[in-house]
Structure 1
Amino acid sequence: MTPKQKPAPAATRPLNVAIVPDSFKGSARASEVAAALADGFAKGAASRKRDVEITAVPFADGGEGTLEALIDAWGTEAISVQTTDALGRPVESRLGLSADGKIAVVEAAEAAGLPQVSDVERRPLEATTYGLGALVSRALELGVSQIILCLGGSATTDGGTGLLAALGASFLDADGAKLPVGGGTLQNLAAIDASGLDPRAANVQWQIACDVTNPLLGAKGAAAVFGPQKGASQEQVQLLDAGLARLADVLEADTGRKLREQPGMGAAGGLAISLGSYYQVDLVPGWDLVAKVLGAHDILQGADLVLTGEGRLDSQSLDGKVVSGVLQAAGENAEVIVVAGSVDLPDEQLEESGILAAHSIAPGPATLAELSAQTLSLVERTAFSVARTYLR
């Protein structure tokens, strides 16, 4: 791919600018970043005496931050739910609800997230998605017709058995006893009793947002690729992978659905395979799902310039993240500029990607803590400079 050619100046209309950033994780929400980019660019355009029309859409890739991006766009507030974290400890989590009350958004990281259990030694064999059940149950109580389940940031490798158990299923060993929660005991799974599953969950449209394509098992699977990030040793990785394989065998025997090879089933410790075996689910790229919910495709197609951003621009940004989605969805004549906390993308990749330019917000040598403390002012300042440079 070669960089897009700058279109001829629009003499009879303002420049159409779409601002579609991700959050700067740990520093600023996507809505805050979008506002700072819009303010900075507008001030820069005014200093150049150029007319611009700016449309700002806070964004996310289907992982952490998607809940905030959607409720910001919907103009609603997060709903608090008392549940448990990945280690079974009480925690207050959140779910999002659309303005019409028809769509709920649930993030795996809200009740099975790695950051929630960072205060103790990681226990990858015991970590469970059980706490997500309270969020899903609350959404069902609210009468939604669609649930968007966002994968990413989980501490778990339990194949979603915890979530399904919270919805009424029982995972049994050869003696008919319930297995302890977590992926570490799944190799002892003999049968699943799904007779107690909440029937309401079968009456909603399940959309599962995923930003990876890993299968459930093997060298590129949930345990091998993501297990070490969750504290698993090589021996534990093998144990978890064997447990997920046993789970897949029993699920296939019980439901006839063969999902283990489906791209994305390895996300969030295989969270989707249990859910998808008993309910009809659509596993879709997170960025595309969010784009459709927010109508971002039309906004991007009509833009002359797209300004996007995230905390760190690197090679992963071009593989299923917001920046890659923006590049795919932007109109043929639109140019794309990235504002990021740090830029770590080789010039060759930058050129091949179609990104016109990438700018770090760092004004000079600084620690992450120093940059985080002034992220929004630095984003606004950088956007001002981008406008001054671009609008000649």
Structure 2
Amino acid sequence: MSRIVIAPDSFKGTASATEAAAAIARGWGAVRPTDELVLRPMADGGEGTLDAFGAAMPGAIRVPVTVAGPLAEPVATHWLLLPGEPATGVVELAATSGITLLDPLAPLDAHTRGFGEAIAAALDHGVERLLLALGGSASTDGGAGALAELGAALLDGAGRPVAAGGRALGRLAEVRLDGLRCLPAAGAGLLVDVTNPLLGPAGAAAVFGPQKGASPADVAVLEAGLARLAELLPGTDPETPGAGAAGGTGFGLLAWGASTVPGARTVAETIGLPAALRGAALVITGEGRFDGQSAAGKVPSEIVRLAESAGVPAALVAGLVVAEPRAAGFGASASLTELAGSGAAAVAEPLRWLERAGAELAAGFSASAA
């Protein structure tokens, strides 16, 4: 009997990390039923972070909250209170102000007010530490909406509050932070999986704006608004790695006093993944598309790092494999696209092919162990 740790990220748009881990485990268990399977769904700070914490930490409590969505429509969601000390609240931007909450997209007017409301709710609850997951944003407002809900005043030339959204940032004349709520005693960590600055060709508007429906003209408007926000917050460096995360929300929360932390690494440490790997025979991770970006702070690269430290071999499951898994440290891999015969077939039945991938990896592991 071997102990196998299964720690995938979500397969975005098709399967959550929890669903993916369970499907891989079913496939593995069908081939090697006596193995001990330890499921640790992972996340890097994007969509699914709350689910990853909740699945790995049974004592976590989902605290319901209703907030303003990315266009102010009510969104019933929750934040997560983790067990232990210090009392830690996890708030996920994707669950409050995320791109999946909008159809159609609204690149100029979507905002992060709801994210700020959920953070405020966690502070009202009395948390001593915050972990703020910044992936999956619908907006490019520099975190202005969240700052406003935390007590900042964002004013136009007449001293009136500006509207929410990235478009309105161009009308900013003054940003006052004296009314901001205090950080919790143990601070606030921003879970980020990107190192983009706020501005420029690698910044929030240029890189991520088009993913949120922004045209080239929209990108120019958003870039000018973010530049104006940065001009009025001179105490925060827009070049800070991660300032451009989530449409610049990283920048706004840095101005509040939060600090960036590696998303995948922080999630892994918090859910106890390093301890789970001790004595394991194999760790399996995965994501929807394994490419060059997967080696830059994403879940697969973090799993490989931890596996190498623990002396445990690692295997990869991905919807589509573009980069070479062995070059990234994986001894075995499975592509859902190859197993299903096409990308469309894999997307149509992701759990079926994830289960098949688990079985294929188990068969290969069994053969190598024989």
Q: Name the TM-score, length of structure 2 as normaliser.
A: 0.91
- The correspondence of residues 370-389 of structure 1 with structure 2, limited to 5 A, is 371-372=346-347, 374-389=349-364
The one-character-per-residue Cα deviations of 1:268-312 (angstroms, maximum 9, x if unpaired) are 111022222132x22011101101101212333543322112223
State which drifts further: 141-150 or 378-387.
Answer: 378-387
Is 2:45–2:191's contact at 8 Å kept on the other side of the alignment?
yes
CA 1:96–1:373 in structure 2 vs 1: closer, same or farther (change >3 Å)? Answer: farther
Give the alignment partner of residue 231 of structure 1, picking from 209, 213, 218: 213
Q: d(CA) in 1 for partners of 2:346 and 2:325?
A: 23
Alignment of 1:327 with 2:304, yes or no, is yes
State which drifts further: 312-321 or 225-234.
Answer: 312-321
Is 1:81–1:95's contact at 8 Å kept on the other side of the alignment?
yes
Aligned alpha-carbon RMSD (Å)? 2.1
> Alpha-carbon deviation of 1:138?
1.5
Letter in 2 for 1:247: L
- The correspondence of residues 296-335 of structure 1 with structure 2, limited to 5 A, is 296-300=273-277, 302-331=279-308, 333-335=311-313
Alignment of 1:274 with 2:256, yes or no, is no
Q: d(CA) in 2 for partners of 1:376 and 1:34?
A: 10
The one-character-per-residue Cα deviations of 1:157-189 (angstroms, maximum 9, x if unpaired) are 111110011112111122212111112122332
Is 1:61–1:290's contact at 8 Å kept on the other side of the alignment?
yes
Report the counterpart of residue 92 of structure 2 in structure 1: 107
Q: d(CA) in 2 for partners of 1:301 and 1:263?
A: 32
Report the counterpart of residue 59 of structure 1 in structure 2: 42
The secondary structure found in structure 1 opposite 2:158 is: coil
Report the counterpart of residue 41 of structure 1 in structure 2: 28
> Alpha-carbon deviation of 1:110?
1.4
Is 1:301–1:330's contact at 8 Å kept on the other side of the alignment?
no
Q: Percent identity?
A: 41
The one-character-per-residue Cα deviations of 1:189-210 (angstroms, maximum 9, x if unpaired) are 22122233234x4545201000
Q: d(CA) in 2 for partners of 1:380 and 1:364?
A: 11
Q: d(CA) in 1 for partners of 2:102 and 2:31?
A: 43
Q: d(CA) in 1 for partners of 2:322 and 2:350?
A: 18
The secondary structure found in structure 2 opposite 1:125 is: coil
Aligned residues: 363
> Alpha-carbon deviation of 1:372?
4.9
CA 1:69–1:202 in structure 2 vs 1: closer, same or farther (change >3 Å)? Answer: closer
Alignment of 1:150 with 2:133, yes or no, is yes
Letter in 2 for 1:388: A
Alignment of 1:245 with 2:222, yes or no, is no
Report the counterpart of residue 122 of structure 2 in structure 1: 139
Report the counterpart of residue 364 of structure 1 in structure 2: 340
CA 1:259–1:331 in structure 2 vs 1: closer, same or farther (change >3 Å)? Answer: same
Is 2:284–2:316's contact at 8 Å kept on the other side of the alignment?
yes
Alignment of 1:289 with 2:256, yes or no, is no
Q: d(CA) in 2 for partners of 1:66 and 1:167?
A: 22
Q: d(CA) in 2 for partners of 1:110 and 1:84?
A: 11
Letter in 1 for 2:205: A
The one-character-per-residue Cα deviations of 1:308-337 (angstroms, maximum 9, x if unpaired) are 122232332222211111111213542221
Letter in 1 for 2:139: T
Q: d(CA) in 2 for partners of 1:73 and 1:19?
A: 12
Q: Structure 2, unaligned stretches of length 5 or more?
A: none
Q: d(CA) in 2 for partners of 1:40 and 1:106?
A: 33
Is 2:320–2:343's contact at 8 Å kept on the other side of the alignment?
no
Is 1:144–1:204's contact at 8 Å kept on the other side of the alignment?
no
Report the counterpart of residue 13 of structure 2 in structure 1: 26
Q: d(CA) in 2 for partners of 1:292 and 1:351?
A: 25
CA 1:77–1:375 in structure 2 vs 1: closer, same or farther (change >3 Å)? Answer: farther
Report the counterpart of residue 5 of structure 1 in structure 2: none
Report the counterpart of residue 72 of structure 2 in structure 1: 88
- The correspondence of residues 138-287 of structure 1 with structure 2, limited to 5 A, is 138-199=121-182, 201-252=183-234, 257-279=235-257, 281-287=258-264
Larger Rg: 1
Alignment of 1:353 with 2:338, yes or no, is no
The secondary structure found in structure 1 opposite 2:325 is: helix
The secondary structure found in structure 2 opposite 1:391 is: helix
State which drifts further: 330-339 or 128-137.
Answer: 330-339
The secondary structure found in structure 1 opposite 2:220 is: helix
Is 1:67–1:95's contact at 8 Å kept on the other side of the alignment?
yes
Report the counterpart of residue 130 of structure 1 in structure 2: 113
The secondary structure found in structure 1 opposite 2:13 is: coil
- Higher RCO (CA-CA < 8 Å; seq separation 6+): 1
The secondary structure found in structure 2 opposite 1:124 is: coil
Q: Structure 1, unaligned stretches of length 5 or more?
A: 1-13
